[in-house]
Amino acid sequence: MDLTGRVAIVTGSGRGLGLAYARALVAAGASVVVNDVDQQAVDAAVAAIGGDTVGVAAAVGDTASAELLVGRAVETFGKLDVLITNAGILRDRVLWKMTDDDFDAVIGVHLRGTFTCARAAAVRMREQGTGGRIILIGSPAGQRGNFGQTNYAAAKAGIAAMARTWALELARNEITVNAVIPVAATEMTKTIPAFAPAIEEAERTGTPYPAWLRHDEGLGTVEDVTGLITFLASDAAKGITGQAIGVGGDKLSLWSHPAEKAVVYAEGGWSADAIAAAWDFEQETYGIPAPKK
């Protein structure tokens, strides 16, 4: 998959998944703006990746940071073709313990940061008139909900909705917008009790993750996610937009859009008593399923 001549921004690429995305894009021939809130992490990432990279230390969220990132891409490489909105933080608490600051901080980075960066990128891509790729990073928590993650799940659900909305708005400009739903062994997932022993054993011995983890749970290394990112940034994916696509371990999936599962009608409308009498819907599941092992 050749990305020679493409220019990309990857937010939150100083470490973890973002670093893997940036490394894969450079390996495919792209020039990349590496971003993290921490200058040391930015410098280390640029040094580790090599190639045509430039670093920008900035906290994603406000308009100024978004415009700084786009401006640096254009100033250094002359244009912008790809944006990957990966930056994020966690402030996990159950509902009754979550503070305003916990909620606002996560929404500010994930949801507002995705919005401001995508807006700045869309303005530039539309001016260039050569199309583009906007790849938003979602989460299974945003698709299904997750205990203790009111703020994170809400932000990631909003990101999937924004991908579908922007795919409509930017179609005429040949700018595709998709949400990627990655599942990988990061510093966060390594702490999940069901996964931790298998991940620790694989990293200690240098052996692959077990089949039940890679296949059944669809969880692998951060590098397992990068093929989808490279593909979506390429010409091969020019017809794919408005989708939520999952990837992890041995698993690639397409998430369905929300749809009416069952419908019944009552002439004249529905009273509370009528609803109670007619309610016979098979309810949807919620929450990320527990590991099968």
**Strand, coil or helix: 80:** coil
- What are the phi and psi torsion angles at 84 (to 5°)? -120, 115
- Which of 152, 209, 265, 286 does the annotation list as catalytic? 152
Q: Report the alpha-carbon distance of residue 171 to residue 64 in Å, rounded.
A: 26
Nearest to residue 187, comparing CAs of 156, 222, 154?
Answer: 222
Greatest Cα pair distance in the chain: 68
Cβ atoms < 10 Å from Cβ of 203: 13
The pair of three-digit structure tokens given for residue 120, joined into one six-digit string: 């700045």
Q: Is 152 a catalytic residue?
A: yes
Q: Report the alpha-carbon distance of residue 110 to residue 59 in Å, rounded.
A: 11
Q: Report the alpha-carbon distance of residue 276 to residue 290 in Å, rounded.
A: 32
Q: Which residues are catalytic?
A: 152
